[in-house]
A = this chain, B = another copy of it.
Amino acid sequence: MIVSTTLNELNQQLKQRRRQFPDEKIGLVPTMGFLHDGHASMMKRAKEECGYVVLSVFVNPLQFGPNEDFDRYPRDRERDTAIAENNGIDLLFMPSLEEMYPKKPLTKVLISEVTERLCGASRPGHFDGVGTVVSKLFNLIRPDRAYFGMKDAQQVAVVERMVFDLNIPVEIVRCQTLREFDGLAMSSRNVFLNEGERAQAVILFKALEQAEGWITEPGMTAPELKKRLNAFIGQAPLAEIDYAELLEYPDLSEPGADMELKNYPHALIIALAVKFGKTRLIDNRIVEPYGGA
């Protein structure tokens, strides 16, 4: 495995590789590091589907708000390097802040509408930072395919829309969320949970399981479902709900308040963001009440 920390090294490596294997597909797994099994499963899938796989590890300050956890976001370059190597990564790209932002960035890639709700509402500017850094990584690496985890379902929707709108020649691959033994979605932020919080954090997964059932009940509507979700998560005393929403996916528009969900003619997402102490967890499930597209 090659490790590149500068744009120049990255560029040299990719140029050489492209010259040697012009028909090879290049895969990109963009991450913020502190890799877990969820990332590993994306790397494995990328390796199955592409001849050459780049893993990027970069904690992007642009996507953190001023009062968010950029500074305390967990980092472990050595461990990440070992995990990348063990999962068949060909090129690990770990740039410094100065490499990625040598001058104050004046250019932003902004995506509207799909960013208005959920994490876009809770974290102003977050998706501007995501759109901008993903654009940079796509331009630097020019992958044929890029792998994104569905735990960040809104991020996937935003990136897919950006790729469509700007004609970016990258195929976005949606990757399933991996879960701990009890159902908690894997996340680099899970390390922040203390024992009590960790025990209660499974309420997100349980709420999604419940909600999937509720949707099939005759007469169930979005407002009623959201009420039940809130009450259900409220059972965990340490849980502080940021949002518990039901929206269409991937356009993230509001379903009609009086529409029955049972045969809803569009994919829906049940999306949760819940804080335990200082740690904000997200999870979601996509359901296709009409039986799938």
Contact = CB atoms under 8 A, between A and B. Distances in A.
B110 A107 contact: yes
B22 A166 contact: no
Nearest to A164: B103
Contacts of A162: 107
A107 B166 contact: yes
A142 to B, nearest CB: 7
Interface stretch (A40-48, A131-139, A190-198, A238-246): A131-139
Contacts of A50: none
Contact of A166 (B7, B103, B136): B136
Nearest to A115: B106
A261 to B, nearest CB: 26
Question: How many copies, total?
Answer: 2
Contacts of A113: 106
Given A103-B165, A107-B109, 16 more contacts: A7-B167, A22-B22, A103-B164, A105-B165, A106-B113, A106-B161, A106-B165, A107-B110, A107-B161, A108-B109, A110-B110, A135-B166, A136-B166, A136-B167, A139-B168, A140-B167
Interface of A: 7, 22, 103, 105-114, 131-132, 135-136, 139-140, 142, 161-162, 164-169
- Shortest 7 CB-CB contacts between residues of A and residues of B: A107-B165, A139-B167, A107-B162, A106-B112, A107-B111, A140-B167, A105-B165
